[in-house]
Structure 1
Amino acid sequence: MKVVSRSGDTLTYYSELFQIPQVLLADANPTISEGILPTDIEVQIPGFVTGKESRSGSTLKEIALRAQLPVDALSLLNQVEKETFSVPVRIIDPLLIIDKPYDYQSLLDDLDILSFHYPFIQVESIGKSVLGKELFEVRVGQGKKVIHYNGSFHANEWITSAVLMKWLNDFLLAVTNDCRLCGVDCMPFYQNVTISFVPMVDPDGVDLVIKGEPAAEGKFDVIKMNNGNPAFYAWKANIRGVDLNNQYPANWEIEKERKLPKFPAPRDFPGEFPISEPEALAMKELAEKRNFEGVIALHTQGKEFYWGYEGYEPEHSANIAREFEECSGYRAVRYVDSHAGYKDWFIQEFKRPGFTIELGKGINPLPLSHLPGIYEDSVKILMAGLYM
């Protein structure tokens, strides 16, 4: 919601008027300095939308009483007389509908919705996919400590993108409404942590799984790579047939030697050399740029998570793993016979906690009917990860 400033107004006053933390107002209006606002400038009020009420038979005071808002909140929105009153309406319910096949367009639409209503979040392109789709990072918070979460490294695990976007929406609701998420006050996290999200690492592959051959735009013979099968439900790779979670220089040579097939395929092909794919490169460069304190990569399926790599993990990773196990019921696994994953490389390079979380149980892609249960379990891990 936008308002137009009046003589003597301040962000501090707007914070009191709308019961929105001042830090959120400041971050939603980064070009506005502290102190008395210039007159007649637009100011973003996050977490609100503008409703309408007829002027007939009502006064601002009566409408304010019904809306449980100060009269001046309505006066601020109604400086110019119109046929209807503009009324600030607090957003108290999730804005996103995530129980649908969650393709790249769904992500774009939802990022637009959240950016519009919560303008204190930052959305930035970190690179492009093989087919030129922007890879987006979302950042929330002010802290120097950066915790990173990602989803859809594997195409047919697109439900992980929906989980991350639902959590982002719930977190934004919590900080704007001074309410708890998983029993935890979220504002201290906003002030002390920066949360980094890349909700969809492999948008080309996700669209291929959901939309079929047309998603390849005629640029790759995906039917041939898929052994003649026009159904792509088992496709994990990017659009070039490279498994993005087998692309990292953490004993990549071992995976290259033992993995089959030896050519582009729906899954497991690690590429001709490490970081050959633009999506993998974007994620590597992001970790180096942001200097993450910890990483959580969402995958499916198994109701377990992996938290070690070749002894490079720090000692306190074990404590975090115990907390994840206790709060979610997921099984903690320290080592698996696997290399070249994003989590593996992160632990090896930074010697910091990294986790691969295998959400849910079943056959990928997991059905949408599993989403409520998956979210109920995984949101506890996502919140606990903020303590890293």
Structure 2
Amino acid sequence: MVFTYKTTSGDTLTKVANRFHIRIEDLLAANKEIPSSHSYLYPGRHLLIPDNASSTKRKKLYPCSEEYGWRELENDRRLLQSQTIKGLKVEQIGQSVMKKPLWLFKYGRGQKKIFLTGTWHGNEWMNSWLLMNFLKTFIKKVNTKAPWLGYSPHKLYQDATLFIVPLVNPDGAELVQEGLSKGHSHYEQVAAINDGWSDFRHWSANINGVDLNHQWPAGWKEEAKTSPKQPWYRHYGGASPISEPESKSIYLLTMKEDFSHVLAFHSQGQEIYWGYRDMEPKVCKSLAERLASASSYHPVKTAASAAGFKDWFIKEWKRPGFTIETGIGKNPLPFDASLEMWLNNVPLILESLTFPSFSPPLDKWEKE
């Protein structure tokens, strides 16, 4: 029997198809007014659900099977906090331009603090899924004292404390996944930047049109010379460094905590960037090679751009910082990329937890 479903905020074609255990192709065939599988579903739309909808849950083809954004993060946060997990703390460190919370997950008992961040760019939202699923699996392995790919999560838990901000840019990710509805608080500005087009899958910036990974006082002025001079969907570094609430939240957290090393996750190139203008400790090259060996990614000293978070961390703290490019192709990555992303990055993250602590003193590693 065909029935009608009324869409709500957060719905996408993938999520609706998964909810009713049907293929997207069947959903599109029943709703021929929807032009393609890349179309957005705005709240209040009536969809015909075909009669091949099943009550039997279908097996997932890939680890990540639907869009992961701030709503999914909220669900995971509530679930984790409801379980009273030993060693886990969850804190709100700030909020986005549109007042969405920026969540920090801390897990571990060691004095060595390691900072992981994801989805600096809106169309790289799969990294949020990656980091949260790593955390949830890591917690299970620690609690059962089970090995994981040759590592001992329980020992790593004792030796280090993970700091994870999985979703730095919730507004940008939401725009990429759900599109721009007429009631959006930044409708006019965002529509103008996109020249009136309704597809936002290319969008990297936050909702103000500022690229959060071009916001950092590490070559910011030089980078600004060859970047857009006004809000744009990518690469505009803002009117000044750390001007955006998302960047400020990461900045304040980093200045507060004594991080040993940081990993910023992005999605293009399957490469590991580990240097910044020769300011990095010499040990960074060998550390990057260890990450490359664990993941099969390619270590590269520097990217063609500056003003990134990793660049600033190296410049400010003289400690190891890495940009991890988890995918290859076009953002946002397709769901089938999540399997390769998972298989490469689980051992990469586990290996990063085995690094020595680089915290005291700041200059200890400069000449090594």
Q: Given the two structures, how large is their TM-score scaled by the length of structure 2? A: 0.77
Q: For residue 3 of structure 1, what is the aligned residue in structure 2? A: none
Q: For residue 313 of structure 1, what is the aligned residue in structure 2? A: 280
State the AA in 1 paired with 2:278: G
- 1:7-156 to 2 correspondences below 5 Å: 98-120=64-86, 121-156=88-123
Instruction: Select the residue among 200, 205, 211 that pairs with 2:178.
Output: 211
> How far apart, in 1, do the equivalents of 2:65 and 2:142 lie?
23
- 1:306-345 to 2 correspondences below 5 Å: 306-345=273-312
Q: Secondary structure at the match of 2:336?
A: helix
Verify the 8 A CA contact 1:208 1:215 in the aligned structure 2. Answer: no
Q: For residue 251 of structure 1, what is the aligned residue in structure 2? A: 219
Identical amino acids, percent of aligned pairs: 39
Report the CA distance between 1:115 and its aligned residue: 2.0
Verify the 8 A CA contact 1:143 1:193 in the aligned structure 2. Answer: yes
Q: Alignment RMSD, CA only?
A: 1.3
> How far apart, in 1, do the equivalents of 2:183 and 2:135 lie?
29
Count the aligned residue pairs: 291
Verify the 8 A CA contact 1:207 1:215 in the aligned structure 2. Answer: no
Q: Secondary structure at the match of 1:180?
A: coil
Sort the Cα spacing of 1:130 and 1:183 in 2 relative to 1 into closer, same or farther, 3 A: same
> How far apart, in 2, do the equivalents of 1:162 and 1:360 lie?
13
Q: For residue 206 of structure 2, what is the aligned residue in structure 1? A: 238
> How far apart, in 2, do the equivalents of 1:327 and 1:375 lie?
12
Q: Secondary structure at the match of 1:206?
A: helix
Verify the 8 A CA contact 1:144 1:192 in the aligned structure 2. Answer: yes
Sort the Cα spacing of 1:262 and 1:385 in 2 relative to 1 into closer, same or farther, 3 A: same
Verify the 8 A CA contact 1:142 1:193 in the aligned structure 2. Answer: yes
Q: Secondary structure at the match of 2:263?
A: strand
Report the CA distance between 1:281 and its aligned residue: 0.7
Report the CA distance between 1:291 and its aligned residue: 1.4
Verify the 8 A CA contact 2:218 2:311 in the aligned structure 1. Answer: yes
Q: For residue 63 of structure 1, what is the aligned residue in structure 2? A: none
Sort the Cα spacing of 1:216 and 1:167 in 2 relative to 1 into closer, same or farther, 3 A: farther
Q: Given the two structures, how large is their TM-score scaled by the length of structure 1? A: 0.73
Report the CA distance between 1:372 and its aligned residue: 1.1
Report the CA distance between 1:234 and its aligned residue: 0.2
> How far apart, in 2, do the equivalents of 1:181 and 1:342 lie?
30
Higher relative contact order (CA 8 A, sep 6+): 2
Cα deviation digits, residues 54-113 of structure 1 (max 9, x gap)? xxxxxxxxxxxxxxxxxxxxxxxxxxxxxxxxxxxxxxxxxxx85310011001101111
Sort the Cα spacing of 1:219 and 1:336 in 2 relative to 1 into closer, same or farther, 3 A: closer
Verify the 8 A CA contact 1:170 1:181 in the aligned structure 2. Answer: no
Q: For residue 29 of structure 1, what is the aligned residue in structure 2? A: none
Structure 2: 5+ residue stretches without partners: 1-62, 356-368
> How far apart, in 1, do the equivalents of 2:186 and 2:286 lie?
47
> How far apart, in 1, do the equivalents of 2:183 and 2:142 lie?
40
> How far apart, in 2, do the equivalents of 1:218 and 1:112 lie?
26
> How far apart, in 1, do the equivalents of 2:159 and 2:182 lie?
41
Verify the 8 A CA contact 2:327 2:337 in the aligned structure 1. Answer: yes
